[in-house]
Structure 1
Amino acid sequence: MELLPLKGQHHVSAITANAKENLHFYTEILGMRLVKKTVNQDDTSVYHLFYADEKGNPGTDLTFFEIPHAGSTYEGTNSISMTSLRVPNDAALDYWLNRLTEYKVEHEAITEDSGRKAIHFRDFEGQRLQFVSDEHNKGVAGGKPWDKSPVPAHVGVVGLGPVRLTVSRPDVSARVLVEVMGFREIAGYTEQDQTIRVFETGEGGTGAEIHLLERNDVQRERPGRGSVHHVAFRVENQEELMKWVDHITASGMPNSGFVERYYFRSLYFREPNGILFELATDGPGFEGDESFETLGETLALPPYLENQREQIEANIKPLHTAKKD
C-alpha cells in the first residue's frame, strides 16, 4: 500500500471562552474571514468557529471551540505551544508590528525563527501565536486573503505556518513523525538557549513544518482558554485517508478510525506524548451548504445534525455575524 505524503498543515483547533471577543479579534484585528459558524459535532452545545483565507482553503484554517467556563491555561510541556500565521513577506511584518501596537495586542519585536522573520504575539486569552514571513518560502503555497477584510490583502494572513510542539520526550514524538507519518527532519535552530528540531512533509516550506522543542523543567500543560486542542494535517482525498486509517492502525497506534465531518473527513490519534493529531481531507470544503459570498453568516449544520437545529440553537448563545457588504 503506497501512501502519498501528508501535504502540510490542514487546520489548528484551539479553545476560547468567549466567542464574541474571539470573533472580534480574529476578524476585525487579524483580518481573517469567518468561513464557517457551526458547532462541535461531538458536543453540539459548543460553537466551532473557522477563520481562514477567503474561502477556507485547506492549510489556512485556525478554528476555535467556545467553552464558556474554560479555566486558565497553565502552560507546560506535552502541548501544542505555538501556532504560526503566514504573511506574504518581510514588509508585511512591519505593517503587523504597527497594527498590533495600535490595537494594544501583547507582542514582541521582529525576530528570526528558523531563517524566517517572525513576530510572537498573544490574543486576548493568551493564545500563543506568531506571524511568520513567507518571503523565502519555496514549499506549499499559501491561500488568498479575503478582499473584504479590514486588513489589506497584500499584507493579510495567507495560511498556517509552522506548528510548535513542546514535549518531554522528543525522540518518541520524532519517531512517530518520521517513521509513521513520513516527515523528514531537516534542520534545527536555537531560541533562548533551547534547541528546536524542524521536521517537514510533502513539498515542505512554511506551511508544512513541525517544530519540536524539549522541555523537562515544567509540568504537563493544563489546557484551558487560550490553549490548542489539536493540529490537523492535509490528506488529498477520502481514498487516501482510508489508506492512512489502515496504516495508523497497523502501526499499533490507537485511533478514531474514519470520522465524517461533512466539510472534510478525518482520522484522530495521539502521539506518545499525548498530543492529539488529526489527518483531514482537502475537501469537500465549506461551500456545500453556503455560497462563497455568505460564508460564516448563519449557523451552518451538517445534514446529519439538521434535524436537531431547534434544540441546538436553543442551547447556544446567539453570535451575531453581520451581513457583509
Structure 2
Amino acid sequence: MNLKPLKGQHHVSAITANAKKNYEFYTKTLGLRLVKKSINQDDTSVYHLFYADERGNPGTDLTFFEIPHAGNTYKGTNSISLTALRVKTDDSLSYWKQRFEELGVDHDDISHHTGRSTLRFRDFEGQRLMLVSDETNEGVPGGKPWDKSPVPVEHGVVGLGPITLTVARGESTAAVLKDVLGFEETGSFPSDIEGQADIRVFETGEGGTGGEVYLEERNDLPVERPGRGSVHHVAFRVEDETELQKWVNWITENRLPNSGFVERYYFRSLYFREPNGILFELATDGPGFETDEDFDTLGQNLSLPPYFEAQRESIEAKLKPLDTKE
C-alpha cells in the first residue's frame, strides 16, 4: 500500500458524567476553547464536547462524551491511561503548578522522567492528564491558544502530547503500531513503578510531542473497567478522505475488524481495536469545526450534522441545557 505516514495525534475522546462541571474545568481552569457543542453521533441523547486551541486545529482536540450514569473507573491495563497536553516552555509548568495549587486541582510535582519536563494532574473525575513542555521539542507543530482564554496565551495549551497506552501484552500492540500504522520505535524511559519494564516510545509523522505514543506493559494490574474519568479512544491524523480510503483497505487487508469509512461531518473516520482491545481511530484533518459555525461563535450553540437536523427538536428535548455562551 502506498500510504502516507500518520501525521500525529488528531484527538482524544474521554468520558464525563457531568457536562456542566466538565465545561467549567476545561474552559475556566485549563483555558481550552469549547470549539463544538454537539452530540454523540452513536447515541444522540448525550453531549459530545470538543475542547481545543482557538479553532480546533487537528492535533489539539480533547473531547468528552457525557454519560450521566457512568460509574467510577477502575484503573488497569488495556487502556489509554494518560493524556498529555503540550505547553510551550518549562516556565509554563511552574505557572500551571501555581495555578493548580490556587484552584485546588489535584496534581503531582514537576518531573523529568520522560526526558522532558512534565506535570501530572487529575480533573474532578480523576481523568489522568499530564502537561508536557515543548521547550526542547522538535516535530509536529502545535496549535494556537485562544486569546480570550482565562490563561495567558504564552502559557496556554497548544495541543495533544504523547498518549500512554497501558497493556498486558506489549508486543501485540507494538506490532500494530509499527507494522500496520507505520510508527517507528525511537527509544524508552524507565517506568516510575518499581519492577516494571521500561516504557517504549513510538513516533509517527514529524515526531516530537505531537506524534508520540508511549507503550507501557504492566503485569501487576487487572484489565481496566472504564467509567467517568477514563478515555474512550485515541484518533490519529490522516491528510484527507482519499488517504483515509487507502487506510480502510490496508486495515482490512491486515485482518483487523474495523468500522469501514464513517462520516462524522467535521471529519471522516475509521475505527478499529488493536489486539489488547484499545480503540483506535484514524481521522481526516478536515473539513473542520467552522463548517457550520463562524470562528467567533464556535461552541456557543448546539451543532448538529445535517443528517441529524430533522431530529433537532427531539434531540434537544433529551439533553440537559448547557449554557456555553459565557
Give the structure-2-normalised TM-score: 0.98
| C-alpha distance after superposition, 1:167-209 (max 9, x if no partner) | 0000000000000000000000013233100000010000000
Q: In structure 2, how many angstroms separate the alpha carbons of the residues matched to 1:102 and 1:282?
A: 37
Structure 2 SS opposite 1:54: coil
Give how far 1:137 is off. Answer: 1.1
Residue type of the partner of 1:273?
A: N
Q: What is the 5 A alignment of 1:139-154?
A: 139-154=139-154
Is structure 2 residue 87 aligned with structure 1 residue 87? yes
Q: What is the 5 A alignment of 1:1-325?
A: 1-192=1-192, 193=194, 194=196, 195-323=198-326
Give how far 1:113 is off. Answer: 3.7
Residue type of the partner of 2:223?
A: R
Q: In structure 2, how many angstroms separate the alpha carbons of the residues matched to 1:15 and 1:128?
A: 12
Q: In structure 2, how many angstroms separate the alpha carbons of the residues matched to 1:250 and 1:302?
A: 31
Q: In structure 2, how many angstroms separate the alpha carbons of the residues matched to 1:292 and 1:191?
A: 42
Structure 2 SS opposite 1:116: coil
Structure 2 SS opposite 1:50: strand
Structure 1 SS opposite 2:271: strand
Give how far 1:143 is off. Answer: 0.1
Residue type of the partner of 2:237?
A: R
Q: In structure 1, how many angstroms separate the alpha carbons of the residues matched to 2:59 and 2:39?
A: 20
Q: In structure 2, how many angstroms separate the alpha carbons of the residues matched to 1:43 and 1:311?
A: 13
Q: In structure 2, how many angstroms separate the alpha carbons of the residues matched to 1:105 and 1:29?
A: 9
Give how far 1:123 is off. Answer: 0.2
Unaligned runs of 5+ in 2: none
Give how far 1:214 is off. Answer: 0.7
Q: In structure 2, how many angstroms separate the alpha carbons of the residues matched to 1:264 and 1:100?
A: 34
Unaligned runs of 5+ in 1: none
Give how far 1:115 is off. Answer: 1.2
Q: In structure 2, how many angstroms separate the alpha carbons of the residues matched to 1:4 and 1:258?
A: 18
Residue type of the partner of 1:208?
A: G
Structure 2 SS opposite 1:191: coil
Give how far 1:114 is off. Answer: 2.3
Structure 2 SS opposite 1:84: strand
Give how far 1:45 is off. Answer: 0.3
Equivalences, count: 323
Give how far 1:73 is off. Answer: 0.3
Q: In structure 1, how many angstroms separate the alpha carbons of the residues matched to 2:35 and 2:29?
A: 16
Give how far 1:218 is off. Answer: 1.1
Q: In structure 2, how many angstroms separate the alpha carbons of the residues matched to 1:251 and 1:112?
A: 38
Q: In structure 1, how many angstroms separate the alpha carbons of the residues matched to 2:249 and 2:291?
A: 28
Q: In structure 2, how many angstroms separate the alpha carbons of the residues matched to 1:278 and 1:322?
A: 30
